[in-house]
Amino acid sequence: MDLELDGKRVLVTGASKGIGLAIVRAFRAEGAEVVAVSRKTTAELEATGATFVSADLADPAAPRQMVETVLEMEPRLDVLVNNVGGGDTSGEVLSDPFGGGADAWAGVFALNLGAAVETTRAALPALTRSRGAVVNISSQNARDPRNAPLSYSAAKAALNAFSRGLAEQVAASGVRVNVVTPSGTRTPMLTAEDGFGADLAARRGIDQDALLAMVPQQAGMVTGTLIDPAEIARAVLLLASPTMASAVGSNWVVDGGALKTP
């Protein structure tokens, strides 16, 4: 299937590893020109041949500055993927029923909502010229907030509302806005020896592999296995493709059956 992405210029945030890296690889495989944004690059990201731009998008001024840098390189943009996200996974936040104090909430909203809002705001004129697409990466926790800090779940729920509302506002200009919602995905956050998964396993007094085996069941995933990041990337490519002109304001769930609502 030709997704008509060959030659398209794509901006991906949170691109150095995990889902972001898989998205970069998928677009590159389709012949797209990719600008990959993260705080630091990685050998795996460099191997894709994507153009790297360093930015800490939790800084409120960084999204606009980053987009300006990208458009100074070439004043054309066809696809924006707002993938950057995450949150404070310290023991204090995890044990707090509120998901952390005011500073924790401000930080997680800045990264998971503010970065997407301001990056999209800055990129919208270029996307309007190209009649392009925005794909935002949400989380199962936006709809089922039981297994994550409440601050993170609330930020992702706000991202869903922003995405749906913006889709209505900009549809007449030809820009399509959609969302992809993953559940537990096999990323370094869970699998790395120094990541959240290792820390959580240590707190529970169990082996990290045992923890990873438990995650799908705890998330309600009927497949019994973590999602391959490449699956998320395939959904992103479809939503970004000009061949999916009627996909507007949608939220595609790739969660192994975790969400139980019809």
Domain locations in the chain as residue ranges? 9-185+228-254
Angle between helices 18-29 and 229-240 (to 10 degrees): 50
Residue 136: strand pairing partners: 82, 179
How high is the pLDDT of residue 215? 85
Active-site pick, 109, 152, 162, 196: 152
The answer to whether 127 and 134 have CB atoms below 8 angstroms apart is yes
Residues in the chain where the model's pLDDT stays below 50: none
Q: What would the two tokens of residue 243 be?
A: 């061949």
- Please state, rounded to an integer, the average pLDDT across all residues of the chain: 93
Bridge partners for 252 per DSSP: 180
Q: What is the pLDDT of residue 52?
A: 98
Determine contact, residues 239/249, Cβ cutoff 8 Å. no
Q: What are 162-179's pLDDT values in tens digits?
A: 999 999 999 999 999 999
| Residue 125 three-state SS | helix
User: Quick check: is 28 catalytic?
Assistant: no
Span 37-62, pLDDT tens digits? 999 999 999 999 999 999 999 999 99
What pLDDT score was predicted for residue 89? 67
- What topology is assigned to 9-185+228-254 in CATH? Rossmann fold (3.40.50)
Question: Are 77 and 126 in contact, with CB atoms under 8 Å apart?
Answer: yes
Quick one: pLDDT at residue 23?
A: 98
Taking the C-alpha atoms of residue 1 and residue 14, their distance in angstroms, rounded to an integer, is 27
Which percentage of the chain shows pLDDT scores above 90? 77
Dist. CA 163–CA 97, nearest whole Å: 27
Kindly report, residue by residue over 115-147, the tens digit of the pLDDT.
Answer: 999 999 999 999 999 999 999 999 999 999 987
